[in-house]
């Protein structure tokens, strides 16, 4: 029986991960942005979020503290439907300018959606999850550049 188990283990092969539906295929990475361009892009995302009635929108400059991104945009939505509308509104508006997110994580049903645009990372939270994760406290050393209540 041990030889049978060993043979079965040998047959296991790794399968390449399948890209989840809905994630864009990026042929070329986003071009590098200068600080002024990245800030203008982050402010545009803030405007797009507020157009979809996002509440408590915060723009944090994290570029001096991490190489992960230059800016974080954190905002809240009052319902699962609104969380989806905010995230989809940002993606669709930027898609018109041929700007696609590098990645998208979370779902409105999970009360959290993340959009990664390289220089700017967007978090769309339901208020309880936003309080729980406390990203503003985590990045308290970074300057808050904009807050829209």
Whether residue 121 contacts residue 61, with contact meaning beta carbons closer than 8 Å, is answered with no
Of the chain, the percentage scoring pLDDT greater than 90 comes to 63
| Phi (first) and psi of residue 40, to 5 degrees | -65, -40
Decide if pLDDT at 1 tops 90.
Answer: no
Cα–Cα distances in Å, from 111 out to 76, 77, 120, 123, 142?
9, 9, 20, 10, 25
Tell me what the pLDDT averaged over the chain comes to: 83
How far apart CA 100 and CA 89 sit, in angstroms, is: 12
Least confident of 3-7, 10-14, 55-59, 69-73: 10-14
| Residue from 35, 133, 29 nearest 123 by CA | 133
pLDDT digits (tens, 9 = 90+) for 81-94: 999 999 999 999 99
Pull the structure tokens for residue 96: 């018109």
Pull the structure tokens for residue 145: 């550049």
Q: What is the pLDDT of residue 41?
A: 94
- Model confidence pTM above 0.85: no
Please give the DSSP secondary-structure letter assigned to residue 7.
H
Decide if pLDDT at 2 tops 80.
Answer: no
How far apart CA 22 and CA 92 sit, in angstroms, is: 12
Domains in the chain (CATH in brackets) are 34-148 (3.30.460.10)
pLDDT digits (tens, 9 = 90+) for 9-67: 444 433 344 445 554 554 444 555 677 888 999 999 999 999 999 999 999 999 889 88
| Phi (first) and psi of residue 98, to 5 degrees | 60, 35
Please give the DSSP secondary-structure letter assigned to residue 52.
T
């Amino acid at each position: 029986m041990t030889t049978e188990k060993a043979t079965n283990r040998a047959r296991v092969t790794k399968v390449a991960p399948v890209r989840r539906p809905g994630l864009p295929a990026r042929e070329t990475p986003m071009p590098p942005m200068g600080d002024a361009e990245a800030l203008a892009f982050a402010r545009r995302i803030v405007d797009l979020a507020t157009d979809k009635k996002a509440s408590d929108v915060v723009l944090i400059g994290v570029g001096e503290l991490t190489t992960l991104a230059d800016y974080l945009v954190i905002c809240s939505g009052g319902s699962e439907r609104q969380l989806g509308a905010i995230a989809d509104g940002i993606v669709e508006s930027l898609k018109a300018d041929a700007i696609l997110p590098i990645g998208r994580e979370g779902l409105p049903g999970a009360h959290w959606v993340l959009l990664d645009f390289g220089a700017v990372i967007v978090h769309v939270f339901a208020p309880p999850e936003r309080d729980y994760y406390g990203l503003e406290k985590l990045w308290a050393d970074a300057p808050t550049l904009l807050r829209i209540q």
